[in-house]
A and B are shown apart, each in its own frame.
Chain A
């Protein structure tokens, strides 16, 4: 057989096989993805914020704050300290004041500090975070109402939407849900019984 003709036939066969595969629906046992709907539930909106670095950076599971968009360990060996405000002569407020500082790029808000260790969220799933948040043993003895208050009115939490600029003058990333939508979502989730989905 002519070699050119052989190549032609093999190419046609390959294209044909690809077409068959591309048009075959691959069946699996997994449920279909419902990503879009998931993002719209109050729980999903709330958790999209709470798992964002603007929250997690100050809810570490060890004794070192995180910082930056890549959540690196805080520069200068900064530590939690006994009261979550740093150590004796290196307090959070040595550098962080009650508002962002646009000269230095140091962020600030009232009560700038780490969340207590019992409220460690870093490395937890959304469900684990939600369970911890509702557990009075972890959440500082807060009722649901008090937890909602913290999540929706605490200035330090709401700083996430006014995160200012970093040391290079670049704006910090805000959480993926606008503030008013997030607040509505937290309240709606709590009003509907603060249910935590099975994941």
Chain B
């Protein structure tokens, strides 16, 4: 089955069984290895990416549902020249330990900040429920607040 979508701003078409998890397509067919496989059961969040701006667990998302949609993976979140506020905050707070879970957390955080620009600790607890086996949660929380702060100052400059 042919499925066409935009990924990180580029049009893409794949010919694959429509029930293949989007994660498989992204990693194995499109060679975008930033999105990780953790559990394959929609339980850990390592595979989180955006489909039309919504955080989606791609291990549990049949690629046929991506037809005509805009997908963003961690590779498309920002660029080396222009980091996304979440990437900048993550670097400033030196969040990762082993790093495996981090792309999923960063994508979930970017989706949260789009909808809740100034999240409270409670918002973070309710929305960011990914799993980090290195338990970097404490630094992650600081980085989420920091990313919101970077957004705020960027917005105040542009206003």
Tell yes or no: B116 within 8 A of A by CB: yes
Mask of A123-145 contacts with B, CB within 8 angstroms, 1/0: 00000000000000000000000
A93 cross-chain contacts in B, Cβ below 8 A: 54, 56
Q: Which residue of B lies closest to A105 (CB)?
A: B41
Count: A-B pairs, CB below 8 Å? 74
Mask of A62-106 contacts with B, CB within 8 angstroms, 1/0: 000000000000011111000000011111011101110111111
Is the pair A89, B40 in contact by a Cβ cutoff of 8 Å?
no
Is the pair A95, B127 in contact by a Cβ cutoff of 8 Å?
no
Tell yes or no: A167 within 8 A of B by CB: yes
Which among B40, B42, B126 is the interface contact of A95 at CB below 8 angstroms?
B42
B125 cross-chain contacts in A, Cβ below 8 A: 77
Residue among A88, A89, A97 having the largest count of chain B Cβ atoms under 10 Å? A89
Knowing A77-B126, A89-B115, A97-B65 are in contact, say whether A106-B60 is a contact too (CB < 8 A).
yes
Is the pair B127, A90 in contact by a Cβ cutoff of 8 Å?
yes
Tell yes or no: B21 within 8 A of A by CB: yes
Which among B21, B42, B55, B59 is the interface contact of A89 at CB below 8 angstroms?
B55
Knowing A98-B65, A101-B60 are in contact, say whether A88-B115 is a contact too (CB < 8 A).
yes
Q: Which residue of A lies closest to B56 (CB)?
A: A94
In the complex, how many angstroms separate the beta carbon of B152 from the nearest chain A beta carbon? 17
B54 cross-chain contacts in A, Cβ below 8 A: 91, 93-94
Number of interface residues of A (CB under 8 A): 23
Tell yes or no: B14 within 8 A of A by CB: no
Distance of A182 Cα from B107 Cα, bound (Å): 43
Interface residues of B in 50-71 (CB under 8 A from A): 54-57, 59-62, 65
Mask of B107-148 contacts with A, CB within 8 angstroms, 1/0: 011011001100000010111110000000000000000000
Is the pair A103, B59 in contact by a Cβ cutoff of 8 Å?
yes
Distance of A102 Cα from B62 Cα, bound (Å): 10
Tell yes or no: B91 within 8 A of A by CB: no
Distance of A77 Cα from B57 Cα, bound (Å): 16
Residue among B40, B54, B56, B61 having the largest count of chain A Cβ atoms under 10 Å? B61
Residue among A76, A87, A94 having the largest count of chain B Cβ atoms under 10 Å? A94
Distance of A104 Cα from B43 Cα, bound (Å): 9
In the complex, how many angstroms separate the beta carbon of B20 from the nearest chain A beta carbon? 9
A87 cross-chain contacts in B, Cβ below 8 A: 123, 126-127
Distance of A75 Cα from B60 Cα, bound (Å): 16
B61 cross-chain contacts in A, Cβ below 8 A: 97, 101
8 more A-B contacts (CB under 8 A) besides A76-B43, A77-B126, A90-B128?
A: A88-B111, A89-B116, A90-B108, A91-B55, A95-B42, A97-B62, A103-B19, A103-B21
| A-B CB contact pairs (8 Å), 10 listed | A76-B43, A77-B125, A78-B129, A79-B126, A88-B115, A94-B48, A104-B57, A104-B60, A105-B41, A106-B60
Shortest beta-carbon contacts, A-B, top 10: A104-B60, A89-B112, A88-B115, A95-B42, A89-B127, A76-B129, A89-B111, A106-B60, A167-B41, A106-B42
